[in-house]
Amino acid sequence: MRIQIFSGDTLWLFSQIFNVPLRLIIDSNPNVNPNSLMVGQTIRIPGYVEERYVIRPGDTLWRISQRQNIPLTRIQYKNRQINPYQLRPGQVILLPRKVIWRVVQGKQAYSYEDMMNDLNELRTIYPFIRTNTIGQSVMGKSIPEVTVGTGVKRVHANASFHANEWITTPIMMTFLNDYLIALTNNQPIRGLYVNPFYEQTFLSLVPMVNPDGVNLVQQGPPQEQPYRDLVLQINNGNTNFSNWKANIRGVDLNNQYPARWEIEKERKEQEPAPRDYPGEAPLTEPEAIAMAELTRRRDFRRALAFHTQGEVIFWGFLGLEPPESETIVNEFARVSGYRPIQYVDSYAGYKDWFIQEWRRPGFTVELGRGINPLPLTQFNEIYEESLGIFLANLYL
C-alpha cells in the first residue's frame, strides 16, 4: 500500500499508526532517506492492501471505521487529501486493509505459473522481500530466489529439485507467506515471535529448482518442440509423467554435482531417463548450474534441500560434515518428528556437494511418506511437520 507524505510525517509515525515494525517500512522503501522525507513523496507500507469504498448517504469516516473494522486514524491518514466533513455520496475513498490471510493456496496442483503469480503478489504486499533470477531452465523459465531478512547469518532452503516432488514448492511458499504475515502483524508462529529472526538471519529460498519438470508432471508434455518429442521418447510414448524426476532433458538435477559424481555415473542410468540419469558430466544442466552459482555467491552458513518422501533427514557426507551438523539435525528431528540419517549410499547430490565444498551443515529433508507425487491429502500434515524445520533454520 502506498501513502503520501505530508509535512511533519516520519516513518516512525507511520509505524505507530499502521502497527508495522519500523524496520520493515524502511526496508520496503530502499530509495527513501528515512531521515529526510519530502512532502508529496510516496512511500510503501508493507502488509496492507487498498480497497475502494464508495461513500453512501449518511456515511462518516467514523461510521465507515466501525462498519469495516478499521481504526479511524488509519482511514484518515490514507485519505488526508479528502475533507472528512464534506463526504459526498458516490465519492471514492481508499480503505487500508491489514493482510492477515494467505495469498498462497498451496493445497492444490501448484505449477510454475502459480508460484510466479504468488511471488508477484507477495512482493506487492510485502515490498521488503527481494526476488531475483538466479538462472533459467532448459525451456527458458526464470528460476527465482526469494530473500527475507537483513542478518549476517545466511541460510538457504530449496524445493522441487525433482519434478514429481513438486509438493515441496507449495509447502515452502506457504511457509514464506506465513512468515511474512507474522512479521507484519507481530504475531508468533508456534509461540515464537519471528521479528528478531528478520534482523538476525538472511533467508534465501529457491522454491522451484526444476520448473520445466514440475509443469511436465502436472500438465503433461509441452507443446514446444523439440521438448515435446524428446520427453515422449524418453517416457516410451507414455503421456503419464507422474514418475518423472528429471529436468526436461531427462537429467536428474540432484545427481549433477561434483561430489563423487563418477560413482553415480557408473551405476545409474546411462542415457536420458525419467529419473536417475546424472548427465554426461557434472553441472551440465542450467538449473543445477544456477544453484551452484547461487551457493558460491551467497556463501551460506547452511543449506537445506527439501524432497519427498520418507520422513527422514540426511545430514552427513563422507565424514566431511562439521560437528554442529548433529546438533542442528537433532533439533530438526525434535520439531518435526523426522528421523536423522547420517550416511546413505548416494552421491552427487546438492547437499553432498555443499558439505564437501564448504564443510558446513547441509541437509536433505524428505517430507511425507508414500509414493511420489505425494497426494495433496497429506499437505496439512506435511506442512505442520516441516514448519518446525523452517523455523529452526531461522533461529539456530
> Which residues are CB-contacts of 33 (< 8 A; sequence separation ≥ 6)?
none
Q: Which of 201, 189, 175, 198 is nearest to 122 (CA)?
A: 175
Bond preceding residue 46 cis, omega within 30 of 0: no
Q: In 10 A of CB 37, how many CB atoms?
A: 20
What is the SS3 assignment for 89? coil
CA distance 43 to 354: 40
Residue 237 in grid coordinates:
510414448
Rounded to 5 degrees, φ, ψ at 383 are -65, -45
DSSP 164: G
Residue among 269, 321, 366, 385 flagged as catalytic: 366
Query: Is 367 within 8 Å of 339 (Cβ atoms)?
Result: no
**In what helix (H) or strand (E) does residue 202 lie, and over which residues does it extend?**
strand 201-206
The distance in angstroms from the start CA to the end CA of the chain is 33
Provide the greatest CA pair distance for the chain.
80
User: Residue 43 forms beta bridges with which residues?
Assistant: 3
Q: At what angle do helices 350-358 and 286-298 cross, to 10 degrees?
A: 30
Residue 8 in grid coordinates:
511533519
Residue among 347, 350, 383, 385 flagged as catalytic: 347
**In what helix (H) or strand (E) does residue 303 lie, and over which residues does it extend?**
strand 302-308
Vertex 10: Cα angle to 25 and 196 (nearest 5): 35
DSSP 162: S
User: Residue 131 forms beta bridges with which residues?
Assistant: 146
- Clarify whether 269 is annotated catalytic: no
- Clarify whether 113 is annotated catalytic: no
Residue 90 in grid coordinates:
458516490
CA distance 346 to 278: 12
Query: Is 362 within 8 Å of 355 (Cβ atoms)?
Result: yes
> Which residues are CB-contacts of 294 (< 8 A; sequence separation ≥ 6)?
134, 135, 145, 204, 206
What positions carry a catalytic annotation? 347, 366
